[in-house]
Structure 1
């Protein structure tokens, strides 16, 4: 019975994928509002590593920034005008760690998990993507979703079928059997048997882990994620320390790099963080038990740290409310006790930080709450903003397209009412969002999609 349901869901999703992928996955979003758009910016942070500019005009053509000029330049040749002359304008934000299909209502999700089909999750993901875009995040890295669903969503957004951020996706997180990423943990024998028969993300031994990497890449993964240690939300006891052997981690990293994919390692325990860094990962996610030794190793290996500071607090609150298991409650208490202090030490030691929230554990569209926690841990508001723009773009390998505003780059542009360099929490209330030249939010209001033409001024 379970297999029959799974087959029907797979066929339905295959049909959705065929529709969404009918245009090349590399295609741009729909025709931007007006072929040419002028944006008057009261204050412009075009490069988050430099001081902001005063009154400026951005000229956007066909989804790209064509020019940036000082002062307010009048539109020419019938171009459209977006008036942000009283607002603070900056590049679209980047979140390097989300789970786009996770339901914000954890209690409902726990109750309904065995009643939902993949199509139900896909609808949740579509809504999460649009709300997150409207919160100012124009690019996301999804680090753990069904690979078929998330690549279909990615391609649907790129092809202009759906509204959402640009997605870079990992597919399923690679895990050992019983590790953080094995969805059969503590399930009954029927569900465990079904999961083990169909899962391609669990592996045991170096050769099997190479296979698991190739399985995700073969289905369209842009990046590879694996679980080096236990995790807070996996329904199994055993703490947060290393769960994967060094040769397994090295096999994953080497295979992914051979295919030109970067690798993110979920890692909480200090021993797992060290082993993953030694294996050559590009980023450590969470990093609860970093210390002076791991901080030095981050710098030696030129690796990035994605702290996801909001996540342990969200998981703890959910577990205390009964929406997560007792196993999660115990691990969340452990993580909250150490994470902020150790992240602050990593920032002080000069470890490279890229912005990530683990949204899907916490609520979607509230990603910007991470900024205040980064500042509390010792980052300046300017450094926190840079972590979600230039630095996140560098970790993605997409500096030529996103992370700053310059001629030739994607027109991913947001605006807030006043300077977030003075109060970083202002990024929690974004008034304007443009992604690849398409306005999705204007004057704080959702815009029609596909977009309607702005009237000339």
Structure 2
């Protein structure tokens, strides 16, 4: 399988680098020291004259960077039968929550996800899982620790509560050194019956701006849970790095986000599940109709965001009711495609775009980047069921995680 003593060769008929589709292959990926040493035509020598003969190479139909799940909750079990297991767990019940998180990581990795950003939990499970997999090839966890929310408002199950501006600032200062990102809960959730957000901003403009400034002082990106125009506009004005969910978006807000480089993680999957499986929550016919309208409007704004150049990032909110880790992201990508995005834009939202957003050194596949891929026989540019048989590939091993 090697073209030289220290070089591994992987041949792909087609590949997606994270930005565009390369379909004039085959292509030989020369892997050395855990990185891509070169990409050549099969048979052409790699660095140092290492050959890439077909007899010594593994061949796959399609290759791309490992998928990124940018919004999930590892401590929550999203399977429909679990009904949000973990959401009401007592503070000391870490053993059962870690078991849930471990199973969720296995599911994610089996779906081709190699990088996950947890979106907050108050038990410290996300930090624990980050430490557990640190240094393990083919899987990485970004963790904010707990989210920050206003005392008595939405978000307590995943966050630390604050009552004053000073407490909010202190929470950022306390969490930032150990966090990869800072998560702020700014608004309530979507009220499907009223077709509105359940509650407006939890923090005033000065408090929110001060929290963002303190996080940025520590070099931590800020991602904000918010829906409803009042919350979205407040988040934009405060200079957050990404808006999560963002239901009831407007064209003007999208233009402001494009101008300021604010990313959007639109999380279609949890609302789509409520619409597709209304019996799970007992929704009435009028509410089901509202869910359809909300989704239609959200899809239209996602298409508009793409046209305006807003950085779209894929996150499924896995752990929410009906959104299973791993499969949830594949469903999210299909829903983004259904909103009118091209296949390349959808794949970029789950590969290069989040890595670039977080300032990672190698957001796409090129010489020098880490040799961690997902492979499949079918290409998403050619087959709708491409995600059914993804494999995580790391140097010297093709890793098939337990499902």
Q: TM-score, normalised by structure 1?
A: 0.75
Which residue number corresponds to residue 95 of structure 1? Answer: 69
SS at match of 2:95: helix
2:147–2:159: 8 Å Cα contact kept in structure 1? no
Which residue number corresponds to residue 14 of structure 2? Answer: 43
Which residue number corresponds to residue 407 of structure 1? Answer: 367
1:96–1:142: 8 Å Cα contact kept in structure 2? yes
| Cα separation, 2, equivalents of 1:393 and 1:72 | 32
Which residue number corresponds to residue 18 of structure 1? Answer: none
SS at match of 1:175: strand
Which residue number corresponds to residue 187 of structure 2? Answer: 229
Counterparts in 2 of 1:283-362, with a 5 A limit?
283-315=242-274, 320-322=279-281, 335-336=294-295, 338-361=297-320, 362=323
1:200–1:215: 8 Å Cα contact kept in structure 2? no
| Cα separation, 1, equivalents of 2:344 and 2:358 | 20
| Cα separation, 2, equivalents of 1:396 and 1:437 | 28
For residue 318 of structure 1, report the CA deviation from its aligned partner.
6.8
For residue 258 of structure 1, report the CA deviation from its aligned partner.
0.6
Which residue number corresponds to residue 391 of structure 1? Answer: 353
| Cα separation, 1, equivalents of 2:112 and 2:394 | 9
Which residue number corresponds to residue 186 of structure 1? Answer: none
Evaluate the alpha carbon distance shift between residue 89 and residue 276 of structure 1 in structure 2; reply closer, same or farther with a 3 A threshold.
Answer: same
Which residue number corresponds to residue 36 of structure 2? Answer: 65
**2:143 alignment partner, one of 132, 155, 169:** 169
SS at match of 2:149: coil
Counterparts in 2 of 1:77-96, with a 5 A limit?
83-85=58-60, 87-96=61-70
Which residue number corresponds to residue 223 of structure 2? Answer: 264
Which residue number corresponds to residue 102 of structure 2? Answer: 126
For residue 214 of structure 1, report the CA deviation from its aligned partner.
2.2
**1:440 alignment partner, one of 378, 399, 402:** 399
| Cα separation, 1, equivalents of 2:369 and 2:144 | 24
| Cα separation, 2, equivalents of 1:119 and 1:295 | 42
Evaluate the alpha carbon distance shift between residue 154 and residue 436 of structure 1 in structure 2; reply closer, same or farther with a 3 A threshold.
Answer: farther
Which residue number corresponds to residue 152 of structure 1? Answer: 128
SS at match of 2:63: strand
For residue 422 of structure 1, report the CA deviation from its aligned partner.
3.4
| Cα separation, 2, equivalents of 1:310 and 1:200 | 22
User: Any idea what the Cα deviations from partners look like across 1:155-205, whole Å, max 9, x if unmatched?
Assistant: 211233xx862111111111112222123xxxxxxxxxxxxxxx9721233
Which residue number corresponds to residue 421 of structure 1? Answer: 381
Which residue number corresponds to residue 56 of structure 1? Answer: 27
Instruction: Single out whichever of 106-115 and 274-283 deviates more from structure 2.
Output: 106-115
Counterparts in 2 of 1:129-144, with a 5 A limit?
129-144=105-120
SS at match of 1:289: coil
Q: TM-score, normalised by structure 2?
A: 0.84
Structure 2 gaps of 5+ residues are none
